[in-house]
Structure 1
């Protein structure tokens, strides 16, 4: 039978773009198509327009640069209940009746959520892949760190990761150096690192800030500039020094991969011979008529919410009953304060230093591991400079002006230049009751929206409490040494934020009875259908998932190329 394509990839984020590039490079004659819901340009002109939109907007939220994608003629119209596409955030989910809220959203754009990520790419630790064997928690991965390590090297090279080899030598085994030297710490980083150099261990754990590996160029790399220190890299890097998946989408197109943007896949129909029919709608067309293509191999490269949603809409087999289950994030929070002297944040990336020593230890039998971030972005999500100005100028409750003129300027300068935060992102165990199913509510294309059931369990809540305790003790030490004022000393009462790390729901494993895909990423139930990205993660690990998902994707792409 003659198929339209040898490979169709659904989704143009990191996983989808890397898959298309890898397969096309290995098999130049293969006919490869990427279908993506986004419709944003990937050239310098489009980036400049996004940057200008962000700079001119009085608000500085994650969707700010992309606001014009929401309601113009090239985007989805808002639905009656206010849910808009293609930039999709938390309000898109149906979370009625859930215990806690799943607080992480995503961007429906070509390039995926790399249009809004921080760029942090620390490696997972060896024990993150064997959590059950070592600590009796969660499950083990079907392969270990050593087997994935060569792909981590490739992933770092593909994304362009900067890091300090010496600082990470004791944490993770490496077979190759980082592609680039580490991003230079800011002045505030140097002040804090020097202040913490004499701090006694906390619970026998050394508090040692080290450089955070980042997919951000410390020098020119793969045609992208070095970091210019713009400080607005979340959500968008003005210079393009921070990696986004548009880099590999463009590379794929240059290799001969076909790209169809503005196309939402509405159904996949696997055939007995391993091929598939892929049904989609181009949302820029007036009639929204369904179209279809046939393919020898199919890769689902959406995220951990959208892949199970499409799987369930398509009515695909689910022998393991694991499709949509085990949704994970890294629940996070922060403790903020003011240093006695100015440290001048907002220069360079949001963070260049982290504390990694609380990610692993015997405590993980009872409490999740966590990594800590030292912020260069003031008070992070606790209070922006804009909100600080507003709080000093206006008493909302009393509806009264507080400060104006020179006194206001002095107060803002005093606060903003001394801001510092310590954040902690915590491990979350896979829980089959944390799941994605189909809602009765529909999106603007008439498809069921994802219904999410979610809660943060005692393991993660204990990690949040412990992370807060560590941050609090660090602030106490700074208060007694360099002078500092902690602003949020009270222990959190179950509070958390989302990290934007959508993981789980399409578990990888060796047996069809308890996993959705095999160790290569191919469906147990539907040979010829593959899944890439963090949806296949059996556990959530103790740090950002992007580097790991890129490595696992490259491993799958090699197997897929061999299958072609």
Structure 2
């Protein structure tokens, strides 16, 4: 994160230090063609004055009491020297300065230069152990050129917004010093940049589609232990411009569906010769549930051969069939004994808003209006009913 802060002109107070830490932001630069060259960012507009950037109001209060200038605003005395105030003068000065403070935070996208040869990682230390003699975790972390370019543009944008658009005085430290062992300042394109963490710990047990390069799969299930789910922003393989909360929530719901399905899923056999068949699965009308064909073959027309849950290609069910207009021989379902039939096929979301037992059957002439009805049907399908969404 790139942090910038400024002081509005006299007579233009913003009255920070009230309400949430941030009440608004600028989202327009979170995406665009520029991302092929540099990192994106979103701008968070702070509402806590310089609390983050300078530990205010405490720093400024102490500055004007002690005659220091650690916050950068106590230089208005004689010969621009710091002044020590008390009484009414102190109150008036603090009221003037603290009500005009604001800060901008640029939440910058982070992407590895070569994700398959990651430089940002956690590994077992070869040098440090804990009290039991076990290796301590050791963090390797660096910013890619792509991300550092984003920092450069963030600084340019911050200075433009503060000085040109707002007419304010910028007090951001534009020349932070590189110190031995320092991990919060870097040099890029001839300038030094300080970066900050926003308190969101992301990564370390990344998710992916290949167990060689990830710890969990897309459902946050451990590759090594199928009954272990690691849920949280530790699964992020990279980070964009936003705080992780909503993404964590979405991933948690996804993992919860999988866990519930593992515990509560049911597999049933659906026979081609039988009419509506109960599955024992009660649908409550609110949860997201799926019916998925996992195997088998059947036919509603022996002359055209055996087919799967999608039914006979090219044969459309006639009027009078259970679900006219859909493929003859397709897997269909309904909720309860009076629910409207719907196509399941190879996979379908169960309709919400209906309650009752899920029933399944083959899309055929159940009443025998056109001939043999179900009596000449053959085969069966295995169908798994589980929680989740398509």
Give me the TM-score of the superposition, normalised by structure 1. 0.38
Kindly indicate whether the alpha-carbon contact (under 8 Å) linking 1:371 and 1:426 is maintained by their aligned counterparts in 2: yes
How many angstroms does 1:445 deviate by?
7.7
Map 1:87-166 onto structure 2 (within 5 A). Answer: none
Per the alignment, residue 463 of structure 1 pairs with 150
2:171 to 472, 483, 487: 487
1:452 to 126, 139, 142: 139
Q: Which has the higher contact order (CA 8 A, sep 6+)?
A: 1
Per the alignment, residue 422 of structure 1 pairs with 104
In the alignment, the residues of structure 2 paired with residue 457 and residue 521 of structure 1 have an alpha-carbon distance, to the nearest angstrom, of 26
In the alignment, the residues of structure 1 paired with residue 36 and residue 51 of structure 2 have an alpha-carbon distance, to the nearest angstrom, of 31
How many angstroms does 1:424 deviate by?
0.8
Kindly indicate whether the alpha-carbon contact (under 8 Å) linking 2:174 and 2:193 is maintained by their aligned counterparts in 1: no
> Cα deviations across residues 31-82 of structure 1 (Å, max 9, x unaligned)?
xxxxxxxxxxxxxxxxxxxxxxxxxxxxxxxxxxxxxxxxxxxxxxxxxxxx
Kindly indicate whether the alpha-carbon contact (under 8 Å) linking 1:335 and 1:472 is maintained by their aligned counterparts in 2: no
Give the secondary-structure state (helix, strand or coil) at the position aligned to 2:260.
helix
In the alignment, the residues of structure 1 paired with residue 160 and residue 105 of structure 2 have an alpha-carbon distance, to the nearest angstrom, of 13
2:87 to 395, 405, 410: 405
Per the alignment, residue 2 of structure 2 pairs with 332
In the superposition, relative to structure 1, how do residues 512 and 488 fare at CA in structure 2: closer, same or farther (>3 Å)? closer
How many angstroms does 1:542 deviate by?
1.6
Kindly indicate whether the alpha-carbon contact (under 8 Å) linking 1:380 and 1:421 is maintained by their aligned counterparts in 2: no
Give the root-mean-square deviation of aligned CA atoms: 2.5
Kindly indicate whether the alpha-carbon contact (under 8 Å) linking 2:46 and 2:104 is maintained by their aligned counterparts in 1: yes
**Greater C-alpha Rg:** 2
Give the secondary-structure state (helix, strand or coil) at the position aligned to 1:529.
coil
In the alignment, the residues of structure 2 paired with residue 418 and residue 401 of structure 1 have an alpha-carbon distance, to the nearest angstrom, of 19
Per the alignment, residue 434 of structure 1 pairs with 120
How many angstroms does 1:462 deviate by?
1.4
Structure 2 gaps of 5+ residues are 71-81, 177-191, 264-390
Per the alignment, residue 342 of structure 1 pairs with 13
How many angstroms does 1:337 deviate by?
2.4
In the alignment, the residues of structure 2 paired with residue 396 and residue 538 of structure 1 have an alpha-carbon distance, to the nearest angstrom, of 45
Per the alignment, residue 375 of structure 1 pairs with 46
Per the alignment, residue 365 of structure 1 pairs with 36
Q: Is 1:550 equivalent to 2:220 in the alignment?
A: no
Per the alignment, residue 58 of structure 2 pairs with 386
Give me the TM-score of the superposition, normalised by structure 2. 0.54
Q: Name the structure with the higher helix share.
A: 1
In the alignment, the residues of structure 2 paired with residue 397 and residue 338 of structure 1 have an alpha-carbon distance, to the nearest angstrom, of 18
> Cα deviations across residues 435-458 of structure 1 (Å, max 9, x unaligned)?
112344455787644221111222
Q: Name the structure with the higher strand share.
A: 2
How many angstroms does 1:547 deviate by?
1.2
Map 1:175-254 onto structure 2 (within 5 A). Answer: none
